[in-house]
Amino acid sequence: MSKIEMKGLSVYYGNGTVHALKDVNMKIEANKITALIGPSGCGKTTFLRALNRMNELIRVRTEGEVLIDGIDIYSKKVDVIQLRKKVGMVFQQPNPFPMSIYDNVAYGPRIHGVRNRELDGIVEESLKKAALWDEVKDRLEENAFGFSGGQQQRLCIARALAVNPEIILFDEPCSSLDPISTARIEELLSKLKREYTIVIVTHNMQQAARISDFTAFFLMGELIECGKTPQIFERPRDKRTEDYITGRFG
Amino acid sequence: MNIKEKIVKGGLFVSALISVVVLLIVIGYIVVNGIGVISLDFLLKSPYRFEYGGVFPQIIGSLFLVALCLLFAVPLGVASAIYLAEYAPDNVITSCIRLFVECLAGIPSIVIGLFGLVFLVYYLGFGVSMLSGGLALGFMILPWTVRASEEAIKAVPRSYREASLALGASKWQTIRSVVLKSAYPGIITGILLGIGKAIGETAVVLLTAGSGLESFLPRSILDPVASLPVYVYMLATQGQTSAAYSRAFGASILLITMFLVMSISALFLRNRYIKRMSGGRW
Ligand SMILES: Nc1ncnc2c1ncn2[C@@H]1O[C@H](COP(=O)(O)OP(=O)(O)OP(=O)(O)O)[C@@H](O)[C@H]1O
Ligand SMILES: [Mg+2]
């Protein structure tokens, strides 16, 4: 069974005037990296935020089903807090809280009621998984703003890992980072997929080709094509996918 | 630079100079006339008629009044601001509430004093007391607290809220642990403004809290309480001897000093907090 399955997913903004996702049907496999590509405004972010119901923070209408482990996350039974614990998110701009490294990572566990004496272990483990521990282990009490953009982004990853998610959503996590920081994050993602299901939006074709197992191409709110990454990049079935990948538009 | 530019620049410079000189004259006049009465006795003794004793009850009374006023206005103001900024639907009623807060901020203090006298002192039966004075001062600074806090809360970046919500935090957890923490310096500034207004406020306190010449400390919040501004007012209007005027100036020096100390310490607190939030040690 797929980890995530979309059935007829449509998303409208405003009073239904903007149809941002159109009848998307797609499956996402567990412990794989799925990359979402497509020109600006095609609905990648909207798609990602449909998976943890972050779209609900603004005026939006969602139709269709999103099944995670076979359960429709839009059904009334589903508690959005439990959903967001299970489906973590890392944003485009590193957005650590104005707190210490330690408090940033401990934030999630704390709000979910983890006791204080367990926090040290969780913080250390999460920072290690995010490949940040060695750089910050002596500076845990320092404010997160004093670190580089790449370090801040890995901190945000550690913060997401600390609540023990099963799926992590990345919305262009490297777009504000230099090549070295980007390489570190890519390396990290490849390690993380052993434990987590990863969905990543990227504008960078090489990045999608390098790190992802599956690639989905969106155009104007429609899912044009989705398949194994080598197939999408080497033998795209749709002419529009080919045009986009070869840089003829977008 | 042509001649016209020079004239404009010169004119502006002279204006700035006049402003500074006026300020210096006012402060200098007060200091010169009041410094003579400042002594340990003036600070630690109670007043006796217009010309004798000190202003100890007045100092303590002013501090009590401001404390009581903050105790009332800060929690209420911050809570209202949280509601307006985070929960209130974007509709006509909310706009009306905001407009109402704006209007409240513009009511002359003597009118608030009158309201305090009729409503708190007589109708609710609190009498002329520290409680009436503190609450009336609270009414006066409440709109400032609400407005400054709401602005501070609204200035917190959306990305902090999103990060918190995406971790599974509830709205209230997000507000409590992330939004208020980041809005804190702005809220402090609002409170500082409130303290500045409250500590020098005369009309409100005169009508609700006491006559200013009390020579005792209140034993409960239902006792009348002395305060520095009303003391100055009394001496200025009824003293009519040069000794009384000197004491009024002496009390004014204390009033200005208290204002400065509070402002500076609040500013200091705020700057330290901002520094802590943006790098450096937590
Ligand atoms: N809050 C909103 N209100 C109205 N329309 C919106 C809103 N957010 C996004 N849209 C519209 O929905 C469409 C999809 O937007 P989305 O942000 O998902 O695109 P994207 O693929 O992530 O683009 P980008 O690559 O620029 O990040 C766009 O046409 C956008 O203008
Ligand atoms: Mg986007």
B76: CATH = 1.10.3720.10
Average pLDDT over residues B169-175: 95
| Three-state SS at A122 | helix
Q: Which of A15, A17, A18, A175 for a ligand 1 pocket mutation test, highest count of atoms within 8 Å of Cβ?
A: A18
Helix (H) or strand (E) run with residue A169 in it: strand A167-171
Nearest ligand, CA of residue A49?
A: 1
Overall residue count recorded for chain A in this entry? 250
Average pLDDT over residues A171-175: 92
Residue B1 lies in a domain: no
pLDDT over threshold 80, residue B274: no
Helices (H), A37-148: 44-50, 80-86, 101-111, 116-129, 133-136
Q: What is the pLDDT of residue B141?
A: 93
Q: Does the beta carbon of A17 lie inside 6 Å of ligand 1? A: no
A249 pLDDT tier (thresholds 50, 70, 90): low
pTM for the structure as a whole: 0.84
In the numeric block, the tokens 């890992």 are attached to: A161
Tell which residue, B166, B169, B118, B113, has the closest CA to residue B138: B113
Q: What is the pLDDT of residue B258?
A: 87
pLDDT over threshold 50, residue B282: no
Residue B27 lies in a domain: no
Whether the CB-CB separation of A26 and A6 falls below 8 Å is answered with yes
Residue B20 lies in a domain: no
Q: Whose CA is nearest to atom 7 of ligand 1?
A: A13
Distance CA B25, CA B223 (A): 38
Which two structure tokens, joined as six digits, stand for A154?
């890995």
For the segment A126-171, what is each residue's pLDDT rounded down to a tens digit?
Answer: 999 999 999 999 999 999 999 999 999 999 999 999 999 999 999 9
Dihedral angle of Cα A171, A175, A176, A181, to the nearest 10 degrees: 100
Residue B250 lies in a domain: yes
Percent with pLDDT over 90 in chain A: 84
Instruction: Please list, residue by residue across A50-62, b when 16 or more beta carbons sit within 10 angstroms of its beta carbon and e when fewer do.
Output: bbbbbbeeeebeb
What is B176-218 written as a DSSP string?
A: IIIIHHHHHHHHHHHHHHHHHHHHH--HHHHHHT--S---S--
Residue B9 lies in a domain: no
Q: What is the pLDDT of residue B280?
A: 41
* Crossing angle of helices B180-200 and B56-82, rounded to 10°: 140
Residue B3 lies in a domain: no
Average pLDDT over residues A87-105: 94
Helices (H), chain A: 44-50, 80-86, 101-111, 116-129, 133-136, 149-161, 179-192, 205-211, 229-234, 239-245
Tell which residue, A163, A182, A183, A24, has the closest CA to residue A88: A163
Residue B132 lies in a domain: yes
Give the number of domains in chain B: 1
Å from A105 to nearest chain B CA?
11
Which two structure tokens, joined as six digits, stand for A28?
């996402």
For the segment A225-235, what is each residue's pLDDT rounded down to a tens digit?
Answer: 999 999 999 99
Domain enclosing residue B109, as ranges = 34-278
Distance CA A180, CA A183 (A): 5
What sign results for the dihedral spanned by CA atoms B102, B105, B110, B116? positive
Stretch among A59-63, A221-225, A245-249, B217-221 having the lowest mean pLDDT = A245-249
Average pLDDT over residues A196-215: 94
**How remote is the C-alpha of B3 from its chain's centroid?**
46
For the segment A5-20, what is each residue's pLDDT rounded down to a tens digit?
Answer: 999 999 999 888 899 9
Average pLDDT over residues A58-70: 92
For the segment B65-100, what is each residue's pLDDT rounded down to a tens digit?
Answer: 999 999 999 999 999 999 999 999 889 999 999 999
Whether the CB-CB separation of B103 and B90 falls below 8 Å is answered with no
Whether the CB-CB separation of A88 and A94 falls below 8 Å is answered with no
- Within 8 A of B282 by CB-CB distance, chain A residues are 99-100, 103, 141-143
pLDDT over threshold 70, residue B127: yes
Q: What is the pLDDT of residue B281?
A: 39
Å from A214 to nearest chain B CA?
24
